Amino acid sequence: MDIRWKPSVTVAAVIERDGRFLLVEEHTPEGLRLNNPAGHLDPGESPAEACARETLEETAHSFRPTALVGVYLSRFQRADPQAGTVQDITYLRFAFCGELGEAQAGRALDAGIVRTLWMSPDEIRASRAQHRSPLLLQCMEDYLAGQRHTLDLIYTDAAVNGLGR
């Protein structure tokens, strides 16, 4: 049987203000972990739109991506004790930086998100054992190194949101 490999496409927001980065603390199968505001690309949206949506859902702040920090590939394996197997997942992450808007009063954080917090680069580096993904640190380091690409590097055809042929 020929099975096509399909990585999970995710987006992440690298948000810095006054030398600190906005992270989320969330429940995962591995326990409480730190991550960028991040999530999966949904049908009908561009990666930048997905990043704005995920940031709002996880932080209750609006977010406008202004640049692509980078595109990242990572692999993660997790035991599935119920099935007696190991899940082997590859993530393709689009990380954006941009402008954080005001918090939307009364908006609940996404399920599983415990809180948002601001951390310095040194605090993030020192907390690697609590990172949900190795990409958290890599995205921050690339951002600090000045890595930025214009948003038009990612082309989203009109058919993605149903406006094309």
- The average pLDDT across 4-21 equals 94
Q: Would 158 be classed as within a structural domain?
A: no
Q: Would 59 be classed as within a structural domain?
A: yes
Confidence check: pLDDT of 95 > 70: yes
Cβ–Cβ under 8 Å, residues 63 and 101: yes
Q: Would 28 be classed as within a structural domain?
A: yes
Backbone angles phi, psi at 117, to 5 degrees: -155, 155
What CATH number is attached to the domain comprising 145?
Answer: 3.90.79.10
Residues in contact with 109: Cβ distance below 8 Å, sequence separation at least 6, in sequence order: 24, 57, 58, 59, 60, 115, 116
Q: Would 162 be classed as within a structural domain?
A: no
Residues in contact with 127: Cβ distance below 8 Å, sequence separation at least 6, in sequence order: 34, 119
Q: Would 42 be classed as within a structural domain?
A: yes
Cβ–Cβ under 8 Å, residues 5 and 90: yes
Q: How far apart are CA 97 and CA 69, in angstroms?
A: 6
State percent of the chain over pLDDT 70: 97
Q: Which of 6-10, 17-21, 80-84, 136-140 has the lowest mean pLDDT?
A: 80-84
Confidence check: pLDDT of 97 > 80: yes
Q: Would 57 be classed as within a structural domain?
A: yes
- The average pLDDT across 49-77 equals 96
Backbone angles phi, psi at 105, to 5 degrees: -55, 135
The confidence score (pLDDT) of residue 76 equals: 84
Which of 152, 124, 151, 119 has the alpha carbon at shortest distance from 138?
124
Confidence check: pLDDT of 1 > 70: no
Residue range of the domain that includes 18: 8-153
- The average pLDDT across 41-61 equals 97
Q: Would 141 be classed as within a structural domain?
A: yes
Banded model confidence at residue 164, pLDDT cuts 50, 70, 90: low
- The average pLDDT across 84-112 equals 93
